[in-house]
Amino acid sequence: MTKRRVVITGVGAVSPLGNDIETTWAGIKEGRSGIGPMTRVNPDDFPAKVAAEVKDFDIETYIERKEARKMDRFTHFALAASIMAMKDANLELSPELGLRTGVWIGSGIGGMETYEAQFRTFLDRGYRRVSPFFVPMMIPDMAAGQVSIHFGAKAMNSCTVTACASGTNSIGDAFKVIQRGEADVMISGGAEAPITNMSVAGFCSNTALTLNQDPKTASRPFDANRDGFVIGEGSGIVILEEYEHAVARGAKIYAEIIGYGSTGDAHHITAPAPEGEGAARAMQQALNDAGISPSDVDYINAHGTSTPYNDQFETMAVKSVFGEHAYKLAISSTKSMTGHLLGAAGGIEAVFTALAIHESILPPTMNLENPDPICDLDYVANGSRQKEIGYAMSNSLGFGGHNASLLFKKI
């Protein structure tokens, strides 16, 4: 059976760099940091002091207050980014097209803010005072559910929960839905709002967060002085569309998705497999799915969390898959500017990868001042570069041993 082609025709983002895609992408190209002092929780309660927070965001720009109150913050982000992406794609759903349009939006944690607030209400005032919207607000699939309701998208409606790989897995799974012919359009990506007391406490307890108190230099992927990730929040959404459908309506096309790989480490609940073995298999799967050679790839948007093991093992994985070509590749971690958006990371990084191809620009890895000798590839250190990009890859790796890779092509 001939695989149908899938292209990206719209992008949207709510991020620590800005509440729209224009501001966010401009920040990435300029190497600007969206990281600041932690304000959504009391930093005096935790050893971690910085976070990548979304600032001055108002969901009532997009929907009425009455509806917004029935949603958690992560769903607000997903809905806003989806509205932006649909507008960018110049796509309105008729009843007929709604039957051929689906939604696949992942979240690693879901409505933690709602869970904590409602649990406090339960402890203080009993079950009768817990909101009847508690469960629908909390569950991770509700971002996809609310986006589907908002647009009338009635094809496949799903949510992938694979920790920090959720956004990438969601886009990869949505890509396959269109490729198989089960939909013509998919609204896909990730959303997360994890800067809550229990989330920060948990990540501090397992020593995953950086203790660097300088917001501008706290996220430093591939640097020898990296010591943990910066927790972030937001959403990245792409509109995926069957190629002929997009061409027929004269759509703008950012890039084509041509490959998807997804593997499991079967190793440890938080630590990556030695030498990035699982990540390497995901990258190889994506290459095989696309039918291209490693030497064809020009750029990788790395998972690059700024944690000691991740950056080392991801570098080793790239070397094992790409061989000598690894040293000719451009690699960057945009988390150096956005922090780590957990389940939303793959969504927003897919947006960045598509825009990098579309505008022929390599996003930088900021704060790479003291390179780790083990991490000896070209990480586009400290400033973006102009470069024609024919093929690009985006990687996401999550707790539980989830590895996902997407391959993009210039069109």
| Tokens encoding 223 | 């640097």
- The model's pLDDT over 358-411, given as tens digits with 9 standing for 90+, comes to 999 999 999 999 999 999 999 999 999 999 999 999 999 999 999 999 999 999
Indicate whether 1 pLDDT > 80.
no
Active-site annotation holder among 159, 164, 204, 375 = 164
- The model's pLDDT over 21-76, given as tens digits with 9 standing for 90+, comes to 999 999 999 999 999 999 999 999 999 999 999 999 999 999 999 999 999 999 99
- The model's pLDDT over 186-245, given as tens digits with 9 standing for 90+, comes to 999 999 999 999 999 999 999 999 999 999 999 999 999 999 999 999 999 999 999 999
Strand bridging mode 185-192 / 234-242: antiparallel
- Domain 261-409 fold: Peroxisomal Thiolase; Chain A, domain 1 (3.40.47)
Mean of pLDDT over the chain: 98
List Cβ neighbours of 366 (8 Å cut-off, separation of 6 or more).
Answer: 31, 33, 219, 220, 336, 337, 382
Residue 204 appears among annotated catalytic residues: no
pLDDT for the residue numbered 134 = 97
- The model's pLDDT over 143-202, given as tens digits with 9 standing for 90+, comes to 999 999 999 999 999 999 999 999 999 999 999 999 999 999 999 999 999 999 999 999
- The model's pLDDT over 277-296, given as tens digits with 9 standing for 90+, comes to 999 999 999 999 999 999 99
Percentage of residues of the chain with pLDDT beyond 70:
100
CATH 1.10.10.10 correct for 7-248? no
Residue ranges, CATH 3.40.47.10, the chain: 7-248, 261-409
Return d(Cα 314, Cα 309) in angstroms, integer. Answer: 8
Question: If we measure between CA atoms, which residue out of 217, 230, 215, 228 comes closest to residue 368?
Answer: 217
Return d(Cα 106, Cα 326) in angstroms, integer. Answer: 30
Place of tokens 């799974």: 173
pLDDT for the residue numbered 2 = 81
